Amino acid sequence: MIRTGEQYREALLQEREVFVGGERVADVTKYAPFRRPIESFVAQYDAKHSAELHDVLTWTDPDAGTFDISFLIPKSHDELRAKGAAFAEFAKLSYGCLGRGPESMAALMAGLEESCEWFEQWGEGNHQKVLDYCHYVRDNDLFVTHALGNPQSDRSKQSHQQDNPYLHLKLKEERDDGIVIRGAKQLATAAPFADEVIVFPNGRTFGPGDEEYCLCFAVPTTASGLKMMCREPLVMDDCLKIYDHPFSSRYEEIDALLVFDDVFVPWDRVFFHNNLFAANNMRFMTSVAAFSGHLSTRRAAIRSSLTVAAAMELCKSVKTADFPNVGELLGRIAALQKALEALVFRAEEDPRVAENGTYFVNPDALTASGLLYPDFYTTMLETIKRTGAAGLMLTPTQADFSGEAAEFAETYFAGADGMRGSDRVQIAKLAWDLVGGPIAQRMNHYERFYIGEPMFVGNFFSKSVELNEGRELFERVIKEGKESQE
């Protein structure tokens, strides 16, 4: 099934506990800071029904019917490529600003389904539970959020050593029909906009004594006792103009701490618990990270492509692009963009095929992209600042170009080669919305951390990366050195 935007919006009317600024939000669809982000997610759902994108964004299976292609487990190279192409189209819908839209978690759910057998070792029937849940989400086209980390509280201590034993999410009670859990998890992007939340550990964070904190489960966001404590919205109303803030006006996807205040989870939604090994290795032993990383890599390439184009157009608008020093900076960020595109290409065109026939994007290219992108993107933003200079700051609003002093605005904000003031300012405002607008810093921060804690990812990569040619050369030169001594 493919939901329409309206069906998605209707589901959001179900009662849920969302808190912002000390108050409970009565209806998330009517709350001003959430209205336009929800519109953006509605548009994502509707795009799957559009004549132009339906065939790209959806997949039809004789047994399962038609579903969002993000849920597909690719069993051929063409299917892997089709997913990549769809991820790019999804990203374009929001200019790569929505990191955790429905398709993002759908991609992750496909990785979970691909790995469902892995869960059997943690309890008889667990693989079926995971499979059933993944199909439930896919077949109802649900929007899932995830909260994988523990609250920062005191990072020098393990979960069981925190002053409050229920600060980090913990098993409180095992019952015949399921478990009761209490405590908090972070950081659930888009939680108030989601239908379901899945919790699983995302790194090697648990040690002996933490067993009851090792949980992998799913519940609806409407579950009794689940409280979503949102950060302060970066855009407080729904009045920003697209001309003035093309991204901030629409894509504030919000983040939340999830507090599970004695939430009941039935057994069919508990995928493992009390299991240190499973908790510390799920990220590294299942397909979840590879599948969601494929989407993220495609999104990163789209977002950075727009960012480089914006930098170039900004410099063209006042003809600084022709200065060789500015041209060099622009050339360097274009090179970073091309490097990202090359990694995406390598990821999809040099896939790995598992014994069960699943096609995976090249793991090294995927991780390299995830590890490098935050620095590349930061360099792109710095280049916009360095080259845009005062032009980024001195920007009136769209209203100024139709207001009392419109003629002066058009004349004196003009750009090079007869560019009208309103046209030049629009470019500058777009660039500033990427760099310093209301949601810009959050997006940059997101790019650094969406892959998970870089420490875990980088460390794992240093052990798993394929460097066969380099190693052979290393051995050869060592051997040559030894032989030359003899």
Ligand X SMILES: Cc1cc2nc3c(=O)[nH]c(=O)nc-3n(C[C@H](O)[C@H](O)[C@H](O)COP(=O)(O)OP(=O)(O)OC[C@H]3O[C@@H](n4cnc5c(N)ncnc54)[C@H](O)[C@@H]3O)c2cc1C
Please report, as a single letter, which amino acid is at residue 253: E
155 makes contact with ligand X (CB under 6 A) = yes
Does the footprint of ligand X cover residue 147 (CB under 6 A)? yes
Site size toward ligand X, by CB under 6 A? 18
For position 148 contacting ligand X by CB under 6 A, the verdict is yes
In angstroms, the CA 150 to CA 258 distance is 10
Site residues for ligand X, window 73-112 (CB under 6 A)?
A: 100
Q: Is 452 in the site for ligand X (CB under 6 A)?
A: yes
Cα angle at 407 between 403 and 408, to 5 degrees?
100
442 binds ligand X (CB under 6 A): yes
Residue (255 or 348) nearer to ligand X, CB:
255
What three-state secondary structure class fits 106?
Answer: helix
Q: Does the protein bind ligand X through residue 405 (CB under 6 A)?
A: no
Report if residue 416 touches ligand X, rule: CB under 6 A.
no
For 53, 473, 479, the CA distances from 482, given in Å and listed in that order, are: 62, 14, 5
In the numeric block, the tokens 């839209």 are attached to 101
HEC string of 315-348? Answer: HHHCCCCCCHHHHHHHHHHHHHHHHHHHHHHHHH
Binding mask 167-206 for ligand X (x = CB under 6 A): --------------------xxx-----------------
Q: Which stretch binds ligand X (CB under 6 A): 59-67, 118-126, 211-219, 447-455?
A: 447-455
Residues forming beta bridges with residue 60, ordered by sequence position: 66
The amino acid sitting at 23 is E
Of 445, 471, 476, 479, the one binding ligand X by CB under 6 A? 445
Burial class, 228, CB count within 10 angstroms (exposed 0-12 / middle 13-18 / buried 19+): buried
Applying CB under 6 A, does 415 fall inside the site for ligand X?
A: no
For residue 232, give the DSSP letter: P
- Residue 34's closest CA among 21, 45, 49? 21
**Nearer residue to ligand X within complex by CB, 247 or 413:** 247
Other C-beta atoms lying within 10 Å of the C-beta of residue 71: 26
- Closest-CA residue to 86 (of 78, 359, 372, 196): 78
Contact 336, 342 (CB under 8 A): no
- Least distance (Å) from ligand X to the CB of residue 449? 4
Query: Least distance from C-beta 460 to ligand X, angstroms?
Result: 13
**Residue 111 Cβ, how far from ligand X at the closest point, in Å?**
14
Q: Which of 46, 259, 223 is nearest to 141 (CA)?
A: 46
- Residue 149 binds ligand X (CB under 6 A): yes
Please report how close the Cβ of residue 467 comes to ligand X at its closest, in angstroms: 24
Query: Within a 13 Å sphere around the CA of 310, how many CA atoms are in the beta-carbon half?
Result: 28
Q: How far is the CB of 479 from ligand X (least distance, A)?
A: 38
Which DSSP string do the residues of 438-450 spell out, in sequence order? TTHHHHHHHHHHT
Q: Which of 438, 444, 453, 460 lies at the binding interface for ligand X (CB under 6 A)? A: 453
Residue 441 touching ligand X (CB under 6 A): no
**Least separation, in Å, of the C-beta of 232 and ligand X?**
13
- Least separation in angstroms between CB 35 and ligand X: 21
Smallest distance, Å, CB 50 to ligand X?
27
> Torsion angle of alpha carbons 67, 70, 72, 78, nearest 10°?
110
353: its two tokens: 């095929």
* Residue 152 lies near ligand X (rule: CB under 6 A): yes
Minimum CB–partner distance for residue 343 and ligand X (Å) = 21
Residue from 277, 323, 408, 449 binding ligand X (CB under 6 A):
449
Smallest distance, ligand X to C-beta of residue 216, A? 13
283 near ligand X (CB under 6 A): no
By beta-carbon proximity to ligand X, the closer residue of 112 and 414 is: 112
DSSP reduced 3-state for 182: strand
Q: For residue 283, what are its two tokens? A: 């990220």
Q: Binding to ligand X by residue 446, rule CB under 6 A?
A: yes
Q: Which is nearer to ligand X, 199 or 428 (CB)?
A: 199
> Which spans of this chain sit near ligand X (rule: CB under 6 A)?
100, 146-149, 152, 155, 187-189, 255, 442, 445-446, 449, 452-453, 455
